[in-house]
Structure 1
Amino acid sequence: MVWTTLDFQPDEYNSAARLLAKTAFPINTLDALQALDVINNWRSAHAYPLNTFQITLRNRARKFEKGVTVAQRAKRLDSIHRKLLSKKTMRLTQMQDVAGCRAIFSKLTNVYRLAEFYKKTDFDHKFRNEKDYISNPKPDGYRSYHLVYEYVGTASTSDYSGMRVEIQLRTQLQHSWATAVEAVGLFTRQALKSNQGDEDWLRFFALMSSAIAAIERTPCVPDTPGDKSSLVSEISTLAENLRAKDMLRAYNTTLETLGAAKDAKYFIIEVDPDEGKVTLRRFKAKESAAANSQYTDLESKIPEGSSRQVVLVSAADITALKRAYPN
């Protein structure tokens, strides 16, 4: 198995990121393309530590729920770009979620049981921080339990030491909420995931998150009704005005699968809302570097303001992929 190695120094990665923050898409200038190569190397090099964390997550999660869904993903270029713009002092090498893996449980109790297991069990890697967005939901309604670790390598993998990986633990209801936000944001061309866009849609999803909280008996989203009747009434009004059910049902797409690899591990998903089309490219485990390279190339060609999106993810198979990324 050939994994991407680090080809540049930290200052070079951070310098490339600063240039990216000033660049509009599609990327076509020589300086920006060179910077993109540097950034892609940083992101691609996370594949080895991410794979290590994902294997551990899968083994540990199955101790608590055999049917748990586990997947991993590399952060999208536009998400990196947005974070660099919003946080002027952010350095690429300090970004905690360039690589992430998640476990999706049917029961909330298993989320917390696994989180405690991580914190109390010996682990070869350095704990950085945790954020409980379930007990303390974000104002937009986002819920998940985050654990961030810093990879600690052995003699042969010491080059990857210091790279950070984010582990997300959530329930199926919380995951359905998050993927619905992404889907509506994608098709309405709004950054709802970043709490930007139409106020009615933002309010609708905040209320829906509080409805999920009522089911799971967790704290509701700040500034949303605490009583059931008021919550249901406001949700119903917004759902009707937004035609939420009709809109979500209308987002049917055709799926085109490229690559004949039956033992595929990595998948590039390209979504074109205007064409109503999803293109799925498949790569074997040994093709990690090729997958990352093509991923960056496809992303760099998306025009500014386009609703087209590309994401590189990993799952056990197509069925697991659909469970992990239903949107």
Structure 2
Amino acid sequence: MIYASNVTAVSRRAATKAGRGICLGAENIGENQYENDVLVAQQWRAQHVKPSQKCFGVLLDAVSSIPNAVCTYRLKRFSSIMNKLRRPGTHFELGALDDIGGCRVIVDSPSQVDQVVLVLKSNLDFKGRNPEKDYIREPQKSGYRSHHLFAVVEDEGARYRVEIQVRTRLEHYWATAVEAMSEIYGHDYKSPPLPKGEESMDVERREFLTAVSALFALREGTSPVPGSEGLAANDVIRRLKSLSCLDQLMIDLRASADSVFQPDAIDDGGGGLFLLEFSRENQNLDVERFAVSELRDALRRYDSLERDIEGFTREKRNCIDGGGAYDNVVLSYAQNPEQLSVAYPNYSANVNLFTDMLKQYGI
């Protein structure tokens, strides 16, 4: 699939070179070279479309017998790719990124995570080195928990990596709360702490996230989050309540959950594929519905919206910041409209569920 008429398929090495040029900026490499590098990087992203779509088809089969399972498919925003490459203290290369194309499965329990992973391993090829990262059995220090698989899909003689995340609803609620907090406070809590240290309030907010993840791990009976080994739920709750940031943080989270998503507005015609199209500026969500048998049509429509969002026909420089009528689009599979809130391409619906869960602990 070619988005730019004057750009042919690019190699992994060429993509990495272009990514380095974009990070250096036009002021260092010249305007013409910079614009060419943007085109090459955009093309590399576009080449992940078909491999990611193939993975999504396999996922639909893998969850067909799992009640309440939700699947999503998306391409990483170009601006997000560039932000990752430019992240301080990291050495990411564009050609080596595993998550340009991504699929996600959200299920009810850790045992269902294992079930899905087993099916996927039987039906897809994976990286020779580090084909998976099981952050459920070995949670990160931040509290992040999810099972990542790195599929390798061949398309037109080239091999592309597609990241598949399989997680429980609790793990997903936690992850979207991290995104919400990052936006509320203008600080990236998804990334490791800054080498030069953080403000004390940011340190406390990270402690909040780690403690909540520890509670959720206890609830699900999975491996403890580092630093919470041997602690009971009451111990973790006491730790949470000792944080000076807690009250204001919960107020801010509840205020951010403006609940644009209203599944009752969708005709209850059962399950299927749902294209969720979100405009942040207008706080508007549109939903298009397709039968599972119409997967090709749904993917074609997703691709059309992707082109609008990324703004391939506009000035090359503006491509990095996105554009178009929608800010985000996600293709999702769900067995009924009510399940769609978990796949909502903004954090508000999941933050409501996150804060409601914490109410059960008196927080």
Same fold per TM (> 0.5)? Answer: yes
Structure 2 residue aligned with 1:211: 215
Deviation at 1:320, TM superposition (A): 5.5
Aligned match of 1:269: 278
Report if aligned partners of 2:125, 2:151 keep a CA contact under 8 Å in 1.
yes
List aligned pairs for 1:173-252, cutoff 5 A.
Answer: 173-196=170-193, 198-224=202-228, 226-238=231-243, 241-252=246-257
Q: Alpha carbons of 1:181 and 1:216: their partners in 2 closer, same or farther (altered >3 Å)?
A: same
Distance change (3 Å), C-alpha of 1:70 and 1:239: farther
Would the alpha carbon gap of residues 39 and 288 (structure 1) be closer, same or farther in structure 2, given more than 3 Å must change?
A: farther
Give the match's secondary structure for 1:152.
Answer: strand
Shift of 1:95: 1.0
Structure 2 stretches lacking a partner, 5+ long: 262-266, 289-297, 312-317, 348-363
Q: Give the Cα–Cα distance (whole angstroms) in 1 for the partners of residues 165 and 259 of structure 2.
A: 29
Which moved further from structure 2: 50-59 or 242-251? 242-251
CA apart distance, 1:254: 8.0
Cα shift at 1:23: 3.6
Equivalent residue of 1:243, what SS? helix
CA distance in 2, matches of 1:147, 1:47: 18
Pairing 1:1-327 to 2, within 5 Å after superposition? 7-10=8-11, 11-23=13-25, 31-63=33-65, 65-86=66-87, 89-119=91-121, 121=122, 123=123, 125-128=125-128, 129-153=131-155, 158-159=156-157, 161-196=158-193, 198-224=202-228, 226-238=231-243, 241-253=246-258, 266-272=275-281, 277-280=282-285, 285-297=299-311, 300-301=320-321, 310-316=327-333, 321-325=340-344, 327=347
> In 2, are the aligned partners of 1:264 and 1:282 still within 8 Å (CA)?
no
The C-alpha deviation readout for 1:205-241, integer Å capped at 9, x for no partner, is 0110000011011122212362333211111232764
Please state how far the C-alpha of 1:89 moved relative to its aligned partner. 4.8
1:305 corresponds to: none
Q: Which runs of 5+ in 1 are unaligned?
A: 257-261, 303-308
Q: Over residues 266-319 of structure 1, what are the superposed CA-to-partner deviations in whole Å (9 max), with x where a residue is unaligned?
A: 5553435xxxx53457785324444333332376237xxxxxx94442224876
Once the 2 structures are TM-superposed, how far is the Cα of residue 135 of structure 1 from its aligned partner? 0.9
Partner AA of 2:227 in structure 1: D
Bigger RCO (CA 8 Å, 6+ sep):
1
Provide the rounded CA distance (Å) in 1 between the counterparts of 2:139 and 2:259. 35
CA contact (8 A) 1:144 1:169 kept: yes
- How far apart in 2 are the matches of 1:20 and 1:244? 36
TM score, norm. by length of structure 2: 0.72
Shift in Å at residue 45 of structure 1?
2.2
Q: Identify the range of structure 1 (85-94 vs 137-146) with the bigger mean alpha-carbon deviation.
A: 85-94
Question: Size of the alignment, in residue pairs?
Answer: 301
Once residues 35 and 201 of structure 1 are traced to their aligned partners in structure 2, the CA distance between those partners, rounded to angstroms, is 38
Q: Give the CA deviation at 1:180.
A: 0.8
- The 1:126–1:217 alpha-carbon spacing in structure 2 relative to 1, beyond 3 Å, is closer
- Alpha-carbon deviations, 1:6-51, whole Å to 9, x = none? 8243243222211222349xxx955444322322222122121111
1:231 and 1:299, CA in 2 relative to 1: closer, same or farther beyond 3 A?
Answer: farther
The separation in 2 between residues aligned to 1:127 and 1:58, in whole angstroms, is 21
Instruction: Output the aligned Cα RMSD.
Output: 3.4
Does the residue aligned with 1:192 lie in a helix, a strand or coil? coil
In the alignment, the residues of structure 2 paired with residue 228 and residue 239 of structure 1 have an alpha-carbon distance, to the nearest angstrom, of: 20
Q: CA deviation at 1:3?
A: 7.4
Matched residue of 1:102: which SS? strand
CA change 1:114–1:255 in 2 (3 A) is closer
CA gap of 1:255–1:177, structure 2 versus 1, over 3 A, is: closer
- The aligned counterpart of 1:259 is none
Secondary structure of the corresponding residue to residue 131 of structure 1: strand
Indicate how the Cα distance of structure 1 residues 265 and 50 shifts in structure 2: closer, same or farther if over 3 A, else same. Answer: farther
Task: Report the residue type matching 1:323 in the other structure.
Answer: V
User: TM-score, length-normalised on structure 1?
Assistant: 0.79
